[in-house]
Structure 1
Amino acid sequence: MLALAVPRWLEAVGGILFGMALVIGGIVLFGLLIARIGGPWVDRANAELAREQAGAEGYGWLPGTDADGQLHAAGCRIFAPDGDLRRILAGEYQGRPIRMAEFVYTEGGRLPSTSVNHLVAIELPVRLPELAIGHDLDIRAESVLDERAAVEPRMERVEVESETFNRQFRATALDARYASAVLHPRMMEWLLNQPPLNFWISGSLLVAYAAKPWTVPQTLTALPVLSGVADLIPPFVLSDYGQPVR
């Protein structure tokens, strides 16, 4: 039997194809392994999120709207200028109207990623200037000094009289005197003894926010803090700095 001579170039091509097959096979096997291991974890996480998002109607939080666009505007200031609201709910807390929603936006170029955040808001009787309070200890939350949270003219860091408060919180505002009027000693002392929360005064809304999906437990934690802040805003701030709600 005659032996066939295989050209060296054909041997090289065969080696390259064999190597590529091994690499592709390895990638496929790795993907299957990740799916097998990660799939149940994702399912458990989704099931837990669904449980934590259930039962809103039991607290009187029903599907609603953001008719005046203020909650959407707050989300655009805090997170990204081109996001959308979903899962909008409305209700009352201690006699004050409230609204809440998830704020979703997409960023990135060729490989875009979707970010799901949440907003919980209590309505104030007047519209107030912008003021953002961020808890430095909550490393999961978006920083209020993030470029995406900037408004024009740009809000700036405000230092208050309490060094303890300055170490644990970041306050940004357009007007330092207004920020100091809101963050009076009693307000600062009260905030220092509350659960970590980032919030923003945006128009007539006092908005708590975090970079994670909305849940009932998070809302139950945020509402007492927001209500306490609203109670402690001095009447002269409402009259001197406030504008009628349109």
Structure 2
Amino acid sequence: MESVLPIIVIAAVVALIIVAAVASHRAAKARRDALAALAAARGWTFSPDRDRNHDDHFRQFRQFRQGNGRYAYNSVFGAMKLNDRELPIKLGDFHYETHSTNSKGQSTTHHHHFSYLLSELPSAATPDVTIRPEGVFDKVGAFFGFDDIDFESSEFSNKFHVSSDDKRFAYAIVHPRMMEFLLATRGPTLILSQGHALVTQGGTWKPEEFAPSVEWLEMFFDRWPDHVLADLKSRA
């Protein structure tokens, strides 16, 4: 019996691995199908293929420059509306790898996945801006003098981190009505840089969360004052 027990244990482990692999495959297929259906419903284009050039095309965002083994997948290409124009968008999932070594010198590869939404900006002359919910490290950074931009609303300043290379522009777009919108929606991380906007939250979104993310970004842009857009147009 003792000689049979190891065989039973090994067989059980193998069976669990097979079951987990089958479940993972089915979940991945269901996700691809859901995103393909989203694209089809809106007249957009879907590609499940791995895009290993994505990180080079959007290298201004550090989120796409982490680790190695980087690629975008489950990519959806389309457009979102802003007044009387359309802004090209790309959304989907992104993968990268990191590695760790234990005390015995054994290396482990860690796979990281997160979802994103990218959009062209209303103007390529838009300054770099980051708006995201404030975290513990932001408060620690503020203690050491690495502060973000403060606004008249103490509630907003306590809950959101805002930084920019152009404070005047940041104040112009983060006006009282925009603050109310961001506080009400508990907005995700939003980065404006080099002609593109990136929306992400660090983890993977459910398929049904992609469309609301596009709508959220449309509402964000819709709240930009007309004089800001006119100023950016003149800069361009």
Same fold (TM over 0.5): yes
Number of residue equivalences: 210
Match in the other structure for 2:89: 99
TM-score for the superposition, normalised by structure 1: 0.66
User: What does 1:107-186 correspond to in 2, within 5 Å?
Assistant: 107-109=98-100, 110-127=107-124, 128-136=126-134, 157-186=148-177
Distance 1:176 1:25, change over 3 A: farther
* Helix, strand or coil at the partner of 2:121: strand
2:35 is the counterpart of 1:50: no
Amino acid at match of 2:155: T
Please state how far the C-alpha of 1:213 moved relative to its aligned partner. 4.1
- Aligned-partner residue type, residue 193 of structure 2: S
Q: Which position in structure 1 is the counterpart of 2:220?
A: 229
Task: Note the residue ranges of structure 1 that are not aligned, 5 or more in a row.
Answer: 1-20, 138-142, 146-154
8 Å Cα contact 1:71-1:205 kept in structure 2? no
Partner of 1:73: 59
* SS at structure 1 position matched to 2:65: coil
Cα deviation for residue 197 of structure 1 reads: 2.3
**TM-score, normalised relative to structure 2:** 0.68
Query: Larger relative contact order (C-alpha < 8 A, sep ≥ 6)?
Result: 1
Spell out, residue by residue over 1:57-87, the C-alpha distance to the aligned partner (whole angstroms, 9 max, x if none). 221221589x99886225x423534633334
SS at match of 2:148: strand
In structure 2, C-alpha distance between the alignment counterparts of 1:22 and 1:174, rounded to whole Å: 68
Check whether the contact 1:88–1:99 (CA below 8 A) recurs between aligned residues: no
Is 2:185 the partner of 1:194?
Answer: yes
SS of the equivalent of 2:185 reads: coil
Q: Is the 8 A contact 1:62 1:89 kept in 2?
A: yes
Computed over aligned residues only, the root mean square deviation of the Cα atoms, in angstroms, reads 4.0
- Higher alpha-carbon deviation: 122-131 or 40-49: 40-49
Residue type at the aligned position of 1:73: R
